[in-house]
Amino acid sequence: MTTTRHALLGTAKRRFPRHHPAVPNGLYRVLLGAAVLVFAALLVALVVDLVYQAEPAFAHFGIGFVTGTAWNPVKVQYGAFPFIMGTLETTVIAMVLAIPIGLGTALALAYLLPYGTRSVLGTAVELLAAIPSVVYGLWGLLVVAPWARTIIEPAVGFVFGHSGPGSGPEIGIGLLLAGLILFVMVLPTMVAISRDVLAAVPADQVEGAIALGATRWQTLWRVVVPHARTGLLGAVTLSVGRAFGETMAVAMIIGNTPALAHSLFSTTATMASIIANQFTEAEEPYHLAVLIAIAVLLLVISVIVNVAARLLVRAVGRSRTSTSIAVA
């Protein structure tokens, strides 16, 4: 016992040399406590400040401004429904593309590619998440919008017979372009989480399926994916949360018209983009308060979606800590 203790102490003296002096424990606890208090205060201040700034709008219009469709600040008419629909529509377009392609990529990364390629390509897809939103907006506005105007929208219009979702002038910017760029931005999150979730399926399930004579696709589709479906749902939810809150790229390419979109090619606005657009100029009565009320709505929705997503993903357990910028 004494030898062990002496050995430990002796090692301690060399392992923890003097340039790591001890901090008095009381001070430490005070500092940590203060940090936690500051953090909590920040969060509370954020909610309080937003609600306080938005209060005139809620008091005057009630929660009904969420259903109104007319947005006319000059006539003090504020209907936020077009923006809610815009947010939903862009997210739907993005997810319709992101779910199959993201799932396919995640499956390939987790099970089909050789180990070396897997980590390189996986990192490459995750680096997509590191690209700043404004750069996506710039690229979308100046590079993809002309493609949308000349190739993509005529093709989509042709498919829909130039009516319904495919009607209207094809000018490039608008709902469809926003959905496409949002898809690119949401893809890395979808792929990163799906890949972890799929890789976490126990090997014995996979091996059992192969032993029973299933082809590779059959094991993936009928064993791995169903086993991981909670986590996959979490990945989808988290991606949806990211799509809801995306501001700058969407603001640059969606045209910012405060009206409902009647076709894929219309310009419209999302909750985040209309706030970014009109915030500095909101000088009519209640205009600023309504914009902040929309921000509160956006915050509430984002929080709910994000919490749901984390609960779903946590239920599966993750093999990696948050060293991925796609998830952070």
Partner 1 sequence: MSILALDPILTRRAEVQQAAAASLRRRQWRSRIALGLCMACVAISLVPLVAVVGYTIERGAPIWSADFFSHVSTPEGIPGGGIWNSIMGSLIIDGIATAGSIPLGLAIGLFLAQSDSRTAGVIRFAADVMAGMPSIVVGIFAYGILVTTLHHFSAIAGSFGIGIIMLPIIIRASEGAFRTVPKDLSEAALSLGAKNAAVARRVLLPTAAPGLFTAVLLAVARGAGESAPLIFTAIGSQYFVANPLQPMAAMPLTIYLDGIQAYPELQQFAWGTGLLLLVVVLVLAATGRLAAARLGGGRK
Partner 2 sequence: MSATFTRPEYRYRRRARRLIFCTANLVAAVSIIFGVIGVSSANAAPSSVTLTAAGSTFDQPFFTLAFYHYKQQTKTTVNYASIGSGGGQQQFESNIVNFGASDVPMFAADIAKATGGTVVQVPIDMGGEAISYNLYGIQGGLHMTGPVLAKIYLGQITNWDDPALKKLNPKVTLPNEPITVVHRADGSGTTYAFTNYLTEVSPTWSAKVGDGKTVAWPVGVGGQGNEGVAGVVADTPGAIGYVELDYALVNHFTYCEMLNPAGKWVSPTIKTTAAEAALHPQVSAQDFSITDLKAPDTKAGKELGKIAYPISTYSWVLVYKHQKSATTGAAIVDLLQWMTHAGQKYAGQLDYVPLPTAVQAVAQQTIEQIDGPDGKPLLTPALAAKFAKTA
Binders of partner 2 in range 121-180 (CB under 8 A): 145-146, 149, 169, 171-173
Q: Which of 284, 306, 308, 310 binds partner 2 (CB under 8 A)?
A: 284
* 3-class DSSP state of 77: strand
Q: Is 278 in the site for partner 2 (CB under 8 A)?
A: yes
Is 265 within 8 Å of 148 (Cβ atoms)? no
Q: Is 90 in the site for partner 2 (CB under 8 A)?
A: no
Q: What is the CB-side half-sphere exposure of residue 299 using CA atoms within 13 A?
A: 15
Q: Is 204 in the site for partner 2 (CB under 8 A)?
A: no
Size, binding site for partner 2 by CB under 8 A: 27
Handedness of CA 13, 18, 20, 26 (dihedral sign): positive
Q: Is 289 in the site for partner 2 (CB under 8 A)?
A: no
- Name the residue nearer to partner 2 (CB basis): 61 or 190: 61
Q: Which of 126, 128, 176, 173 is nearest to 156 (CA)?
A: 176
Q: Which of 17, 21, 114, 213 binds partner 2 (CB under 8 A)?
A: 17
Span interacting with partner 2, options 100-108, 177-185, 235-243, 278-286, rule CB under 8 A: 278-286
What are the CA-CA distances from residue 321 to residues 110, 193, 325 (Å)? 17, 12, 11
Q: Taking the complex as a whole, how short is the minimal distance between the CB of residue 324 and partner 1, in angstroms?
A: 8
* 3-class DSSP state of 78: strand
- Name the residue nearer to partner 1 (CB basis): 167 or 248: 248
| Residue 214 to residue 270: CA distance in whole angstroms | 46
Q: Give the footprint of partner 2 on residues 245-264 (CB under 8 A).
A: 255-257
Place of tokens 């996986």: 122
Q: ∠ CA(195), CA(201), CA(202), 5° rounding?
A: 145
* 3-class DSSP state of 258: coil
Q: Is 187 in the site for partner 1 (CB under 8 A)?
A: yes
Q: 113 contacts which partner out of partner 1, partner 2, none, CB within 5 to 8 A by kind?
A: partner 1
- Name the residue nearer to partner 1 (CB basis): 33 or 161: 33
Is 252 within 8 Å of 141 (Cβ atoms)? yes
**Where on the chain is the footprint of partner 2 (CB under 8 A)?**
14, 17, 70-75, 145-146, 149, 169, 171-173, 255-257, 267, 277-278, 280-284, 288
